[in-house]
């Protein structure tokens, strides 16, 4: 294909990758003034779409942040702390102020106390090596706590520019779109004048007269489950609405499959209760441990879908974690599920290679 450029942002148009710069559906290419999907949505719907960049461009973008005098708003997915961590974040941020925004709190049971959640989140951030000056829990999708977020941004930024950063899927675009929707003043501004800049795909949104908020592109990090799932199937995997637990009474030597992505072998601990919190589309299937391998190979593209995967995860492309879990702890499979286990247990957790598995005191 000869190179055709988007009349909005100047990026080279391509029809292959929906999430990458310059994507245009085939039909759009025949138009007299071709415009990439991202610019199109921004112009016609005031809607920001996250742009995925590769790690080289991402680092260049972050390095350019280093030079600025600004407030960094770091968006984190409550369901995927590890997948939300940007490599070398602290180094790049330098001594700028950081506001950590814990997103998707609507996914947690309503009974959960938000201040306790923020305390827990702070500890988790510390464990992940992220230093933040302040932390707030919100739901971008449901518009929970957005006024408080704007107040914090306003007081912490002290008139400086604001950069919204995060890995893909943490909800950055949902947040920005919600802020635009709720603030008619901003909405008008973005329609006409702003298209994604060619420089590193940032979108700038004026905040008042002399301040700008920048939406930065996201990056998929290796520990994110989205790495292993086709983009159309992510809706079946990422926890989408309030999560319900499915509870199983397990005996030793039994296995639970979480769709075709996760597998938990229950090794020792006597009769025990396992509550799995995940996207309700995923099939949770119990089987005998000694039958689990055959079961997986037979059903990975049938009973255990969604998501659809082309190949089963075999030993060269999965990781196994042998874990001793204390009572009232959660095993957390990044971006996929929490599993709350009632009593002390020894389990083996199998996940696609690189996906993070950790144990935390239960957050429920």
* 83 near ligand GDP, rule: CB under 6 A: no
Contact yes or no for 243/277 (Cβ under 8 A): yes
How would you label 184-194 residue by residue, b for 16+ Cβ within 10 Å and e otherwise?
eebeebbeeeb
Closest by Cα among 5, 83, 19 to 51: 19
* 211 near ligand GDP, rule: CB under 6 A: no
Judged by beta carbon, residue 169 or residue 223, the one nearer ligand GDP is 169
* 117 near ligand GDP, rule: CB under 6 A: no
The length of the chain in residues reads 364
Query: Rounded to the nearest whole angstrom, what is the least distance from the CB of residue 174 to ligand GDP in the complex?
Result: 3
* 334 near ligand GDP, rule: CB under 6 A: no
Of residues 12-41, those binding ligand GDP (CB under 6 A): none
* 285 near ligand GDP, rule: CB under 6 A: no
Judged by beta carbon, residue 238 or residue 255, the one nearer ligand GDP is 238
Indicate which single residue of 11, 139, 157, 224 sits in contact with ligand GDP (rule: CB under 6 A): 139
Of residues 89-108, those binding ligand GDP (CB under 6 A): 103-104, 106-107
**CB atoms near residue 180 (< 10 Å):** 21
Judged by beta carbon, residue 183 or residue 287, the one nearer ligand GDP is 183
Judged by beta carbon, residue 106 or residue 265, the one nearer ligand GDP is 106
How would you label 221-254 residue by residue, b for 16+ Cβ within 10 Å and e otherwise?
bebbbbbbbeeebbebbbbeeebeebebebeeeb
* 168 near ligand GDP, rule: CB under 6 A: yes
Indicate which single residue of 8, 22, 83, 218 sits in contact with ligand GDP (rule: CB under 6 A): 218
- For residues 299 and 294, give the distance between their C-alpha atoms in angstroms, rounded to a whole number: 9
Indicate which single residue of 70, 157, 174, 224 sits in contact with ligand GDP (rule: CB under 6 A): 174
Record the tokens describing residue 236, joined without a space: 């079946």
Question: Residue 216 in 3-state DSSP?
Answer: coil
């Amino acid at each position: 294909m000869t190179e055709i450029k988007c009349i909005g942002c100047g990026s080279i148009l391509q029809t292959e990758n929906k999430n990458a710069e310059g994507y245009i559906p085939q039909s759009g290419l025949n138009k007299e003034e071709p415009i990439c999907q991202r610019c199109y949505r921004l112009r016609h719907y005031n809607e920001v779409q996250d742009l995925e960049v590769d790690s080289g461009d991402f680092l260049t973008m972050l390095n350019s942040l280093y030079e600025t005098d600004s407030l960094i708003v770091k968006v984190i997915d409550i369901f995927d702390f590890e997948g939300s961590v940007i490599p070398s974040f602290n180094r790049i941020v330098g001594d700028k102020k950081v506001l950590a925004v814990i997103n998707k709190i609507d996914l947690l049971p309503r009974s959960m106390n938000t201040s306790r959640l923020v305390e827990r989140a702070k500890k988790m951030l510390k464990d992940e090596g992220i230093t933040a000056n302040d932390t707030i829990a919100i739901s971008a999708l449901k518009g929970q706590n957005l006024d408080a977020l704007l107040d914090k941004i306003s007081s912490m930024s002290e008139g400086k520019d604001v950069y919204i950063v995060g890995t893909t899927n943490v909800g950055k675009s949902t947040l920005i779109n919600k802020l635009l929707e709720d603030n008619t003043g901003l909405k008008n501004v973005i329609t006409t004048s702003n298209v994604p800049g060619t420089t590193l795909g940032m979108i700038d949104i004026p905040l008042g007269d002399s301040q700008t908020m920048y939406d930065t592109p996201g990056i998929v990090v290796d520990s994110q489950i989205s790495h292993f799932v086709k983009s159309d199937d992510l809706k079946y995997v990422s926890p989408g609405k309030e999560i319900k637990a499915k509870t199983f009474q397990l005996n030793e030597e039994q296995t639970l499959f979480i769709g075709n992505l996760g597998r938990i072998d229950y090794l020792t601990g006597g009769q025990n209760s396992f509550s799995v919190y995940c996207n309700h589309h995923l099939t949770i299937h119990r089987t005998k441990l000694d039958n689990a391998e055959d079961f997986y190979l037979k059903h990975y593209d049938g009973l255990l879908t969604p998501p659809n995967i082309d190949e089963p995860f075999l030993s060269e492309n999965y990781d196994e974690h042998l874990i001793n879990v204390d009572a009232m702890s959660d095993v957390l499979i990044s971006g996929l599920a929490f599993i709350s286990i009632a009593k002390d247990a020894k389990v083996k957790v199998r996940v696609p290679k690189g996906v993070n598995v950790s144990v935390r005191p239960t957050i429920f």
